[in-house]
Amino acid sequence: MKRTARLLPAVFALALVAAACGGDDDEGGGAASPSAANLQGQTIEVAAVWTGAERDNFTKVLDEFSKQTGAKVTYTPTGDNVSTFIGSKIEGGAPPDVAVLPQQGVLVQLVGDGSLKPVPDDVKQAVSENFAQVWGDLASVDGQLYGVYFKAANKSTMWYDVAALENAGVQVPVETWDDYMTAAQTVSDSGVTPVAIGGSDGWTLTDWFENVYLSQAGPEKYDQLSKHEIPWTDESVVTALETLAKLWGNNDLIAGGAKGALQTDFPTSVTDVFAENPKAAMVYEGDFVAGVISSETKAKVGTDANFFPFPKAGDSPAVVGGGDVAVALTDKPASFELLKFLASKDAGEIWAAAGGFTSPNKNVDSSVYPDDVSRAIGEALVAAGDNFRFDMSDLAPAAFGGTVGKGEWKILQDFLGDTSDPQATAAALEKEAAKAFD
Amino acid sequence: MADRDVTTTGAGEQPAPVDRHSQAAEEPDGGAATARRDVIPGIPLPRRAKHRDPDRAGSTWAWLFLLPALILLGAMVVYPIGYTVWRSFYNAAGSAFVGLENYGDLFTDTATFTALKNNAIWVAVAPAVVTAFGLIFAVLTERIRWSSAFKLLIFMPMAISFLAAGVIFRTVYDQDPNRGVLNAAIVSVHDTFIESGEYQGIRPRDTDQLTARGGGFVTADPVPASEPVQIGFVALPPDRVPSDAVQAVPPPDGPGLRGVIWLDFARGGGGKPNQIDPNEVGLPDMSVQAVQDGRTVDSAKTGPDGTFAFPELTSGNYTIRLPSSNFGAAFNGVTWLGPTLVTPAIIGSYVWIWAGFAMVLIGAGLAAIPRDALEAARVDGATEWQVFRRVTMPLLAPVLAVVLVTLVINVLKIFDLVYIIAPGSTQPNANVLALQMYLASFGGGNNQGLGSAIAVALFLLVVPAMLFNIRRFRQEKR
C-alpha cells in the first residue's frame, strides 16, 4: 500500500508530461497489455459536474471499477461550467482522462477541437449491446463514437396529485392527448383546476412543445427541426401549436388562467399542485419534479404524488430528455476501460440502486431502483427506445432556445398568453430561429 | 523609485519618527539621489505654505504623484471606454467592421427600442417622484418631535442592497394573495365591500341551457311552468361543497313551477352528464328568480337536496334567473408584474429605496436655509404655504437640482431591480438599456458589438447629467 502511494505521484507526473507532449507516447511504466482485470498501478482522473450525494454515488461506481481492474481513479468536480473547466485544463496541457459532459453541444465542440479520443471497438461493442441505437448516435460525430451515455433525464413525466385525480375519478395513466384533454375537463368539473404551468420560466413551455411535437411529428421531423433543416413555419409545428392551444387556450384548465401561469415560475407550479392548499391537480416537467416535491412540500412521492408518461399527441411513444455522456480525453487504456465499464449493466445498477439516477442502459435490471417512481421513470425511458430525443431547445443556439425574454422562450410565453394565432407564432419562431441559426 | 525618494525626504525633514526602511533605501542610491536633490528644494513640503512657488519642477512632481492614479484610471476607465467604442463598430463575432450598423440596431431591434423607451419613462418619472417624496418627508420631519426615528425609518431601505430589495419586492408584488402582501391587502379590502357568493367560480354543465348574464345565469329559453327544470352545475371545489348538501333528487310533483339545482359531478367519477346520479348532491341556499317579460315575478331558495318550487306560478312561461349574489366575482388582485404594470411597479420599489436618500440631502439643505429669511417673510404676513413657495423653494432649488440630477444618473444605469423583479415572461416589457446591454452581450444574445453600442449610448446619455453636476460643483467652489 505504502509503495503504491509513493509511486502514484510519479505516475501522475508522467501522465501529465505525456499529455503535455501531445499525448502520443506510450505509458512509461504502465502495464504492457492491460485487460479488464489488470490495470494495476495506473491512475486516471475523472471530471464531472456532480457534487454532494451525486458525487458520492458516482464514487461508488468508480470504486467498483478500481476493485475490478486495480486502476486508481481520482474524481474532480468541474463546477457548473464544464466546457470552461475542460477548456482551461486542455489549454494547460493536463486534461482529465475521462470527463462526463452534461450537454451534447460540448461533446460536438470538443470533437471539433480534436480534444476527444475516438473509442476503440470493445467500447463500441459494449455500447451497442447495452443501449438503444439512439444513444450511440447521440454520442457520435460523423459516424465515429466518442463516448458513453451513462446517466439520463426523462422529461416526459406528467406529475399529478393522487387524491385530486381519484376525487375526479380519472384513470391513470392517461395515454393520449385527447384522453388528457377529457381528463383535464373532468378534473375541472370536479372543482379542481387541472393543470399548473410554470409559464414565467420559458423553458417549461419549450418542454411542453417538444413532447407534443416529438410524438406527433415523429423523431425524423424532430431531428430536422432541431437542426433547423425544416423551417418552424412547417405544417407540423403549426399542428403541434394547435394541439397545445387546446389546453393553453382554455383558462378553465390552467391554474390562474394563462395570465396567472405567466406569473408562475417552475418551483411554484410544483408547489401549486403538491402543497397544503393545492391550486391544481397536475403539473408537467421532467423527473426532477420529484426532487422539488420532496424538498418543497410535505407530499410523498409515490403515495401522494405520482406521474404518468406524457400523453401521446401522435402515434409514437416518445421521451424527451437529456443525458450525461462520458468521454475520453486521453487514449490511456484505463480511460477506455472505464468507458467500457460505464457502459456496462453493473455500473448503471450501482448508481440506480443508490437512487437519484436514471440509466439509459436497457440491460439494467429495473428492480434495482429503490422505489416505484424512479423505476417507472427508468422503464419509460428504456421503453421509448430509439424514440428518445434530446430536449430540442438545449440543442439550439442559446439566443433561440435558452435565453430569458428571447427566442423560443418568449414566443411560447406570448403564445400561452394568446393562443389565437398558431400560424403567426410559427412565423415568429421561424424568424428568431433563422437569426440564431445562421 | 521617485515615490520612495519623496517619502524619504519628507520623513527626514519632519520631526516625525524616522522609518528604518526608508533610511536604508536611501543609502544605496546616494549618488543618484544627490543628483536629484537640486530638484527637491522646490517641493512644497507638508505644513509649509502651498502654491507659493508653482514652478515647473513642482508640476513635474505633481504629475509624478498623479501617475499611479492616472495609470489606474487609464487602465480601468479610459481604456475600457475606448475599447467599447471600438468594439461597437464590429459585428457579433468581432471579426468584421460594420460601421454604425449596431447603432442603427438600437432603434430597429424591438427589444432594444423597448429598453430605450422604458429608460425614458424611468428618467421622466423616477427622479421626480423620489425628489418629491424626499421634499415632503424632509419638510414634514423638520417639524415633528420624533423626526430622527422617522428619518431613520425612511432611510433604512438605503441600507438594503438592491438585490435584496428586488427579492423583497418580487414577493410584495406576487400575484397570489397568499404570498404577495400588496394583493393580499387589495383582495381583503375588495372582499370587505363586495362579498363573494357561496358558489363562486362554478359553471353550468350545459351551456346551451344556461347562459351567463350580469355575473349570474339565466335559462336560454323560457321554461313552461308545467315542466320541472333540472339545472346541473360543475366545478365546485370539494372543500367548498356546503356541509348541509344532501343527495339531489328530481323535483317532486306538485303545483307550480319546480326544479332542482345540483352539482352534476359525482366524487370519484362515474356520473353521467346532465343526469342526477348517486353521489351527486344538491346545491342548497341558491336563490332562484322566476322572470316574466323582464320582471321578476317570484323568488325562492333551493333546499338541501337542491329542489326549489314556485307554487303560485301554475301557468305561462318563465325565464329562470340565478342572480349574481350566488356566485360573486372571483377577484384575484392586480397583476402587478404583468406587461402593463411591471415598469410602474419596479419604479415604485425604486422610490421606496431612494426616498430616504433624497430626504436626507434635502433635509440638510433645509437646515442650511437662514431662519431670518423665513422669519422676515412670516413677519411680513406671509402664510406658511407662501413661505414655502416663495422663500423655502427658491433657496432650496440648488439642492433639489443636485438631488434630481444625481438620481437621473442613477436611474439611467438602473439594472438590478429590473433584472430581479420582472418575471421572465414580462422581462422584455420591463427592459431597460443597462439590462439590455447585459442581455445582448452575455445573456444569450452574445452580440458584444450591439452590447457595446448600447453601452456607448448609455454613456452619452449620462454625460450631460454629469457635466451639469460638475459645473455645479465648480460654481459652488467659487
Query: Residue B232 pLDDT more than 50?
Result: yes
**Separation between Cα atoms, residue A83 and residue A77, nearest integer Å:** 12
Query: Residue A8 pLDDT more than 60?
Result: no
**Separation between Cα atoms, residue A157 and residue A377, nearest integer Å:** 8
Q: How confident is the model at residue A121 (pLDDT cuts 50, 70, 90)?
A: very high
**CB contact, 8 Å: A229 with chain B?**
no
Domain assignment present for B292: yes
B93 or B219, which is more confident: B219
**CB contact, 8 Å: A271 with chain B?**
no
DSSP, residue by residue, A31-86: -SS-BTTB-TT-EEEEEES--HHHHHHHHHHHHHHHHHH--EEEEEE--S-HHHHH
pLDDT for the residue B444: 61
Q: Does the beta-carbon distance from A406 to B269 stay under 8 Å?
A: no
pLDDT for the residue B243: 87
Query: Residue A134 pLDDT more than 60?
Result: yes
Highest average pLDDT, of A143-152, A293-302, B317-326, comes from A143-152
B201 or B300, which is more confident: B300
Q: Does the beta-carbon distance from A263 to B111 stay under 8 Å?
A: no
Query: Residue A90 pLDDT more than 70?
Result: yes
pLDDT for the residue B435: 92
CA-based nearest residue in chain A for residue B440 = A399
Cell numbers of A47, please? 471530471
Question: In A284-371, which ranges are continuous DSSP H helix?
Answer: 289-296, 333-342, 345-354
Query: Residue B424 pLDDT more than 90?
Result: no
pLDDT for the residue A17: 40
**CB contact, 8 Å: B428 with chain A?**
yes
**CB contact, 8 Å: A188 with chain B?**
yes
B329 or B167, which is more confident: B167
Can you tell me whether residue B262 is helix, strand or coil?
Answer: strand
pLDDT for the residue A396: 84
**Separation between Cα atoms, residue B279 and residue B248, nearest integer Å:** 8
Residues B358 and B379 in one domain: yes
Backbone angles phi, psi at B421, to 5 degrees: -75, -45
> Would strands B210-213 and B307-310 be described as parallel, antiparallel, or unpaired?
unpaired
**Separation between Cα atoms, residue A160 and residue A270, nearest integer Å:** 10
Q: Which bin fits B251, alpha (ψ -120 to 50), beta or left (φ > 0)?
A: beta
What would the mean pLDDT of B19-33 be, rounded to a whole number?
Answer: 43
Q: Give the CA angle between residues A286, A290, A294 to the nearest 5°.
A: 150
**Separation between Cα atoms, residue A208 and residue A215, nearest integer Å:** 11
Give the one of A166, A189, A259 whose C-beta lies nearest to B265's C-beta: A189
Residues B106, B116 contacting (CB under 8 angstroms): yes
Domain assignment present for B28: yes
Residues B132 and B65 in one domain: no
What is the DSSP-derived secondary structure letter of residue B76?
I
Cα dihedral A309, A312, A315, A319 in deg (nearest 10)? -50
What would the mean pLDDT of B47-57 be, rounded to a whole number?
Answer: 56
CATH number of residue B112's parent domain: 1.10.3720.10
Domain assignment present for B9: yes
Residues B437 and B343 in one domain: yes
What would the mean pLDDT of A336-363 be, rounded to a whole number?
Answer: 92
What would the mean pLDDT of B109-135 be, rounded to a whole number?
Answer: 92
Residues B68 and B133 in one domain: no
Give tens-digit pLDDT for A236-269: 999 999 999 999 999 999 998 898 899 888 989 9
**Fold match, A2-16+42-154+321-388 / A157-317+405-437:** yes
What ipTM, to 2 d.p.? 0.70
Q: How far is B163 from chain A (nearest CA, A)?
A: 18
**CB contact, 8 Å: A256 with chain B?**
yes
Residues B8, B22 contacting (CB under 8 angstroms): yes
Cell numbers of B360, please? 436626507
Statement: A2-16+42-154+321-388 belongs to CATH 3.40.190.10: yes
Query: Residue B239 pLDDT more than 90?
Result: no
Give the one of B268, B335, B425 whose C-beta lies nearest to A199's C-beta: B425
Give tens-digit pLDDT for B343-362: 999 999 999 999 999 999 99
**Separation between Cα atoms, residue A363 and residue A130, nearest integer Å:** 6
Give tens-digit pLDDT for B378-415: 898 888 889 888 888 899 998 999 899 999 999 999 99
Backbone angles phi, psi at A411, to 5 degrees: -65, -40
Q: Does the beta-carbon distance from A191 to B335 stay under 8 Å?
A: no
Q: How confident is the model at residue B47 (pLDDT cuts 50, 70, 90)?
A: low
Residues B298 and B170 in one domain: no
Residues B277 and B236 in one domain: yes
Residues 188-207 of B with CB under 8 A from A: 202-203, 205
pLDDT for the residue A117: 92
Residues B343 and B224 in one domain: no
From the list A116, A91, A118, A112, the residue with the least C-alpha distance to A101 is: A116
Query: Residue A7 pLDDT more than 60?
Result: no
Residues B60, B42 contacting (CB under 8 angstroms): no
From the list A322, A328, A351, the residue with the least C-alpha distance to A340 is: A328
B191 or B171, which is more confident: B171
What would the mean pLDDT of B170-175 be, rounded to a whole number?
Answer: 91
Rg of chain A taking only CA atoms, in angstroms: 23
Residues B351 and B450 in one domain: yes
pLDDT for the residue A196: 95
**Separation between Cα atoms, residue A281 and residue B237, nearest integer Å:** 12
Residues B371 and B460 in one domain: yes
- Residue A232 CB contacts under 8 Å (≥ 6 apart), including other chains: A225, A426, A427, A429, A430, A433
Backbone angles phi, psi at A49, to 5 degrees: -80, -15
Q: How confident is the model at residue B54 (pLDDT cuts 50, 70, 90)?
A: low
- Give the range of the structural domain holding residue B317, as residue numbers without chain letter: 203-326
Q: How many CB atoms lie within 10 A of CB B435?
A: 26
Highest average pLDDT, of A428-432, B174-178, B245-249, comes from A428-432
Angstrom distances, CA of residue A305 to CA of A261, A301, A373, B53: 21, 5, 9, 85
Indicate the class that CATH gives domain A157-317+405-437.
alpha beta
Domain assignment present for B194: no
Question: In B2-78, which ranges are continuous DSSP H helix?
Answer: 2-13, 20-26, 30-37, 56-73
**Separation between Cα atoms, residue B301 and residue B169, nearest integer Å:** 46
* Element counts in chain B: helices (H) and strands (E): 18, 10
Domain assignment present for B98: no
Give tens-digit pLDDT for A17-37: 444 443 333 333 333 333 455
Give tens-digit pLDDT for A212-223: 999 999 999 999
Give the one of B235, B425, B444 whose C-beta lies nearest to A413's C-beta: B425
What would the mean pLDDT of A344-354 be, rounded to a whole number?
Answer: 92
Q: Does the beta-carbon distance from A202 to B424 stay under 8 Å?
A: yes
**Separation between Cα atoms, residue B129 and residue A289, nearest integer Å:** 44
Q: Does the beta-carbon distance from A404 to B443 stay under 8 Å?
A: yes
Number of domains in chain B: 3
Residues A193, A313 contacting (CB under 8 angstroms): no
From the list A344, A339, A332, A386, the residue with the least C-alpha distance to A147 is: A339
Q: Give the CA angle between residues A119, A124, A130 to the nearest 5°.
A: 135
Domain assignment present for B382: yes
Domain assignment present for B270: yes
CA-based nearest residue in chain B for residue A171 = B269
Give tens-digit pLDDT for A188-216: 999 899 999 999 888 999 999 999 999 99
pLDDT for the residue B266: 85
**Separation between Cα atoms, residue A45 and residue A106, nearest integer Å:** 19
Q: In which element (H, E) is residue B144 found?
A: none
Angstrom distances, CA of residue B78 to CA of A11, A378, B83, B366, B407: 50, 57, 9, 38, 24
pLDDT for the residue A291: 87
Angstrom distances, CA of residue B98 to CA of A46, B89, B94, B102, B447: 44, 6, 10, 8, 13
Domain boundaries defined on chain A: 2-16+42-154+321-388, 157-317+405-437
